[in-house]
Structure 1
Amino acid sequence: MKIAIAGGSGFIGQHLIESFLRDQHEIYLISRKKQPTHDPSLTSLTWSDLALTPHLLEGVDAIINLAGESINQRWTADAKHRILQSRLETTGQIADLVAKLTRKPQVIINASGMSIYGLSETATFDETSPHVHDHFLSDVVEQWEQAAHQIPATRVVTLRVGIVLGMDGGAFPKMFMPYKLFVGGKVGSGRQWLSWIHVEDMVRLIQFCIENPQITGPVNGTAPTPLRNDDFGRVVGQVAGRPHWLPVPAFMMKLLFGELSVLLLQGQKVLPQKLLDHGFQFRYPTLEPALHHLLHH
């Protein structure tokens, strides 16, 4: 297959590209600047290249959009603007690009987020749950999905990404650092839910969504066993052979992270119902084997 990836130089994108190249697909990496490529099946294209000659992507089977400014920063007014605009602009550029192609891709997979469900210690969410506007990121995600559904393709999947666990990027290296230093513990109340997924399963479920034409609309990119923060930390401690004992008070998180701390102090219990209904088999459905693989592989 021919697959184009926007935002492919990021954490998930790099894992995707590695997997696709192993499976001998032809990959187009779309980014602001030309990226070094070391494989004849991988072509680097810039947004400027595609604005001038969109037909470079003629005949592409799937477009995956993972592009967007990192949310892992203080949410100043400027940062909020960049976080929203980077997502809307990239998704808009893909819509313009697809409109110019004679043969449209079979599927667009556009990243999205769990924040669309709002924050709760008690509710359980799946793809049928309503949108809740209770913090900045929930509004961003709703606008992002609306932009994705403007892309003129027969099938658009909005991938509501959970906390992706890997050792070479994402949130986990920072989450694991206190345990390395023997000062791990619950964050805030410890009752907030963490809906996580191993990066290998994230790559596999994206491939699954491409290959299964009946999957469309929102898909929760999370493992089927979310955990509360305190329980998550206990499993990290057990697998790493480190104590789980030193709580981080909520006020400290607010001081360190500002408004971003809402994501660390509150969470949501999100289930991948659509994937389970379509028969997707998780390689790491529970946390302990996922962490054994990451920490002892």
Structure 2
Amino acid sequence: MNIAISGITGLVGNALSQRLLNDGHCVVGLFRQDFEKGSAHLAEKLDGVEAVIHLAGAPILKRWTKKWKDVIWKSRTDTTKMLVSVINSLPNPPSVFVSASAVGIYDTYEVHDEYSTEYAEGFLGDVCKAWEVEAMKINNHKTRLAIARLGVVLSTNGGALKQMLFPFKLGLGGKIGDGLQPMPYIHIDDLTRGLEWIIKHNELKGIFNLVAPQMISNTEFTQAMSAILNRPALIPVPEFALKGLFGEASSVIAEGQKVIPRRLPETGFEYQFPDIRLVLADLLK
């Protein structure tokens, strides 16, 4: 299968492209310059492509200045809008369009599966909602749409785990704030397997929570890290320190959503790493 991936140089895009290539697929990378060159250029790159996986988006965990908020928003909504417009205009469009979103769309109070409509208020929730609205403009008579709401992706090649690993190894790790905030996570391999699963099963469409089935708190994650690395984790990170570093963006770390994946397991998908101890044992062995 010919599969196009936007955001292919990112943590998820790179791992996904390697999985797809190893499984015998052909991968077409969609880069920032491809979007800058306009719709006609994108249409040429998508000629003959059977699936599009849209992962592009500027980093969230960075101080949210007015300018950076605009970058976060446009890097998701504008690219999605352009991709959807191009796909809808093609005489032979891809059979499936998988568009990334995030569990940040959900509020921090309820337990959420894919049927939940209790959405978050605030900047990140608004970004996710606008992002998904653009994806939903795909012509679903010709192209199947799947929206993948991602949790915290755990990998030693980048992302949150790589940033936390060094202080934990020094014995300087600890919970964040009171440690009670939920941490919806997923092993990078389960994520890429899940995305490939959605592509390969023609009956799958709609919303999918790409998180592990286990719900944990930040404290439980901290305890698991401490046990796997055999290092103490006694130094909590106060919320005021996070706010000093990231400003409003600190809410991404200091808060969390209770999210479960109902739809993917219902289709027969099995997680290789359904428990945080299995995740960390595999990644940090």
Coarse TM-score class (shorter-chain normalised):
over 0.9
1:106 pairs with 86, 95, 100, which one? Answer: 95
Give CA deviations for 1:249-287 in whole Å, capped at 9, x if unaligned.
Answer: 121111121111111111111111111111110010101
Indicate if the aligned counterparts of 2:35 and 2:42 stay in contact, CA closer than 8 A: no
Instruction: Note closer, same or farther for the CA distance 1:66–1:105 as it changes in structure 2 (3 Å cut).
Output: same
CA drift at 1:57 = 2.0
Match of 1:170 in 2: 159
SS at match of 2:194: helix
Match of 2:282 in 1: 293
CA drift at 1:49 = 7.3
Give CA deviations for 1:110-133 in whole Å, capped at 9, x if unaligned.
Answer: 00010111223xx21110111423
CA drift at 1:152 = 2.3
Over 3 Å off, 4+ runs: none
Match of 2:113 in 1: 126
Indicate if the aligned counterparts of 2:8 and 2:17 stay in contact, CA closer than 8 A: yes
RMSD: 1.5
Match of 1:157 in 2: 146
1:265 pairs with 254, 267, 271, which one? Answer: 254
Indicate if the aligned counterparts of 1:119 and 1:134 stay in contact, CA closer than 8 A: no
For residues 8 and 190 of structure 2, what CA distance do their matches in structure 1 show?
17
2:57 pairs with 59, 64, 68, which one? Answer: 68
Indicate if the aligned counterparts of 2:61 and 2:252 stay in contact, CA closer than 8 A: no
Match of 2:84 in 1: 95
TM-score calculated relative to the size of structure 1: 0.91
Match of 2:176 in 1: 187
For residues 222 and 97 of structure 1, what CA distance do their matches in structure 2 show?
30
1:139 pairs with 126, 140, 143, which one? Answer: 126
Give CA deviations for 1:41-92 in whole Å, capped at 9, x if unaligned.
Answer: xxxx665276236144223111000001111210111111110011111101
CA drift at 1:238 = 0.2
**Which structure 2 residues correspond to residues 20-39 of structure 1 after superposition, within 5 A?**
20-33=20-33
Match of 1:16 in 2: 16
| 2:79 aligned with 1:79 | no
The one-letter code of the counterpart of 1:235 is A
For residues 255 and 174 of structure 1, what CA distance do their matches in structure 2 show?
18
Match of 1:254 in 2: 243
SS at match of 1:246: coil
SS at match of 1:288: helix
CA drift at 1:155 = 1.2
SS at match of 1:127: coil
Instruction: Note closer, same or farther for the CA distance 1:268–1:52 as it changes in structure 2 (3 Å cut).
Output: closer
Match of 1:198 in 2: 187
For residues 202 and 259 of structure 1, what CA distance do their matches in structure 2 show?
28
CA drift at 1:23 = 1.2
CA drift at 1:211 = 1.1
CA drift at 1:24 = 1.5
SS at match of 2:147: strand
Deviation larger for 7-16 or 128-137: 128-137
Give CA deviations for 1:144-179 in whole Å, capped at 9, x if unaligned.
Answer: 000001122431111100000001111111122321
Instruction: Note closer, same or farther for the CA distance 1:56–1:136 as it changes in structure 2 (3 Å cut).
Output: closer
